[in-house]
Amino acid sequence: MASVLIIDDDDVARAVLLRTLTMAGHEAVGARDGVEGMLRFRDRPAGDPVDLVITDIFMPNQEGLATIMELRRGAPSLKIIAISGGGARASLDVLPVAEALGAHRTLRKPFTPAEVMEVVREVLEG
């Protein structure tokens, strides 16, 4: 199974994703924002890299688009899924921007565990 890093500032959403992926047999770890996510990504042992990153877009400290760009620079072949509910102040559709920056797939919140697992499977197999 895959090693998955989930970056989302919403504690409930992150916990649901962690539980869903763990129950499916994946090794899943979480981070609250892009800064913490990049630390967790870099702290992995050399022989045990992260296979997939799922990142929210709108977060404090370092948002998802900057995180995707940083991940792409350091790990061009890393699989990335971007997720977003649109932002706190307005309904912004930045998921196409995430794809343009290198996300393999996107998901709009809210989504079901089954939808997440389908996209995770597609990205990991692709």
Read off the CATH number of the domain in which 7 is found. 3.40.50.2300
Q: What pLDDT does 91 receive?
A: 59
- What is the tens place of the pLDDT at every residue in 12-51? 999 999 999 999 999 999 999 999 999 999 998 888 899 9
Q: How many domains does the chain have?
A: 1
pLDDT of 41 reads 97
Give 51: exposed, middle or buried? Use CB within 10 Å, 0-12, 13-18, 19+. middle
Range of the domain at 62: 3-125
Query: What percent of the chain lies above the pLDDT cut of 90?
Result: 86
This prediction has a pTM of 0.94
- Mean pLDDT over 99-109 rounds to 95
**pLDDT the model gives residue 86:** 73
Complete DSSP assignment for the chain: --EEEEE-S-HHHHHHHHHHHHHTT-EEEEESSHHHHHHHHHTS-TTS---EEEEESS-SSS-HHHHHHHHHHH-TT-EEEEEE---SSS----HHHHHHHT-SEEEESS--HHHHHHHHHHHHH-
Q: Is the pLDDT of residue 89 over 80?
A: no
The whole-angstrom distance between residue 85's C-alpha and the CA centroid of its chain comes to: 13
Query: Which residues lie closer than 8 Å to 77 by C-beta, 6 or more apart?
Result: none
Residues 79, 67, 35: CA angle, nearest 5 degrees: 120
